Structure 1
Amino acid sequence: MNVCPVCNGLKQLDVHCSECSSQMEEKGRYMDYFDDYSPYMPIDQMKLEDGIPNDYKNHQCPHLYRCPSCGNDQIVLIKE
């Protein structure tokens, strides 16, 4: 069984904004932002529908990171 270390609070990533180099904030799984019911759908099913190639096959969990300084969003793939 593969688990995401960020989703499960086992790890925090130090991600810097590609626009302004500020520290970015982790905002949760990318696919949780699709619609009101996304957070309640099976994770593997949502990976098949999120538009990110091979995240399901490669056991990666896409997380949204947002820069508090400039508002830039970035998707970071976390190895499960």
Structure 2
Amino acid sequence: MAMCPLCNSLKVLNINCPKCNNLLEDSGKVSDFLDPYGHYNDEETVKMGDGYPNTAKDQICPHLLVCNNCRYDVVKFVQEE
């Protein structure tokens, strides 16, 4: 089974905000915001309810990135390894 390099602290995203150019902060998996108790479920079950139809099939992990300066946010899909 593949694992997300961001969730497991193996990599860091360095993406600047398109509005104010500050560094975006990784706020974690989108599913953590949708279901606060979702981390108790296995990863495949979480992916079935994360709102993105291809996360399990494509082995991608949606992360919420937020700008702490202007509050811009975006979801980036991270390829699992």
TM-score (norm 1): 0.88
SS in 2 for 1:57: helix
Letter in 2 for 1:59: Q
Q: In structure 1, how many angstroms separate the alpha carbons of the residues matched to 2:66 and 2:44?
A: 24
Q: Which amino acid aligns with 2:39?
A: P
Partner of 2:66: 66
Q: Runs of 4+ in structure 1 displaced over 4 angstroms? A: none
For residue 2 of structure 2, what is the aligned residue in structure 1? 2
Partner residue in 2 for 1:20? 20
Tell me which protein shows more helix as a share of its residues: 2
Between the aligned partners of 2:62 and 2:44, the Cα distance in structure 1 is 12
Structure 1, unmatched stretches of 5+, are: none
1:64 CA displacement: 0.9
RMSD over aligned CA atoms reads 1.3
Aligned pairs, how many?
80
Q: Hey, what's the Cα distance between the residues in 1 that align with 2:54 and 2:36?
A: 24
Q: Distance in 2 between matches of 1:72 and 1:40?
A: 29
Q: What is the CA–CA distance in structure 2 between the aligned matches of 1:35 and 1:51, rounded to whole Å?
A: 11
- TM-score by structure 2 length? 0.87
Percent sequence identity over aligned pairs: 38
Matched residue SS, 1:64: strand
List per-residue Cα deviations over 1:22-56 (Å, max 9, x = no partner). Answer: 21001111101113312222222111111113111
Gapped regions of structure 2 (runs ≥ 5): none
